[in-house]
A = this chain, B = another copy of it.
């Protein structure tokens, strides 16, 4: 009986120790995290526009905060597409690769994608029509466009124009200048996936107001930042979307010294986002 008692107390002690060691972590955090969907953002768009291309967070860390998203890489080394938790890089040559998780990003936005609805997009829609249909679907669902939103669109496109940017070395020039040397990729009759994020108007300066689109072909070998597209004629397409009432912003540890963050760069952003 002495042995069995010892065994009993040892097991009980083990249980108590286990409870003690795990208890401090039992802080509602996972529950809260599931309840609130957030847009997780690394960096500030105005700093990127000003030329802050040095990465501040690893892809490994970024990937822990979302499964769907957009961004760029240290040194502005191409366009980032995050899809199903995988980080894809579309460099200047347009040939997609899978970067190492130790690579860093100066600007990226990801969400844990859990669609809450789907928008029906008319066949043959161009990018503008597609955005209008999404805005209408989101407004119908949540009342207005004051939330952040994420969408994933797997579709056939009659045409799609995408671009990527050349990797930069210090001293960095502003993005509006760099983007003038962008590589443009024109696709016809292509199947693939659009990843879109939408910021409310009030994020200007900090994030991207309106929609921002990146693309990957279905075989994940080509893609880029989307300048325009037209859905294939034929059937409507369904685009699952999610709205987000929270955003978290993560600034570089090294600061943004020397960056002029005071002036309005809305015009520059528009030029960078959509110039063909």
Contacts and interface: CB of A to CB of B under 8 A. Distances in A.
A144 interface: yes
A102 interface: no
Interface residues of A, number: 56
A156 interface: no
A177 interface: no
Contacts of A38: 248
Contacts of A142: 255
A235 interface: no
Contact of A3 (B4, B249, B251, B256): B4
Contacts of A29: 25, 27, 29-30, 33
Copies in the complex: 2
A261 B4 contact: no
A203 B206 contact: yes
Nearest to A32: B29
A255 B22 contact: no
18 contacts: A4-B7, A4-B8, A7-B8, A8-B8, A15-B15, A25-B28, A29-B33, A38-B248, A142-B255, A146-B252, A202-B206, A202-B261, A203-B206, A205-B206, A206-B206, A245-B252, A246-B251, A247-B249
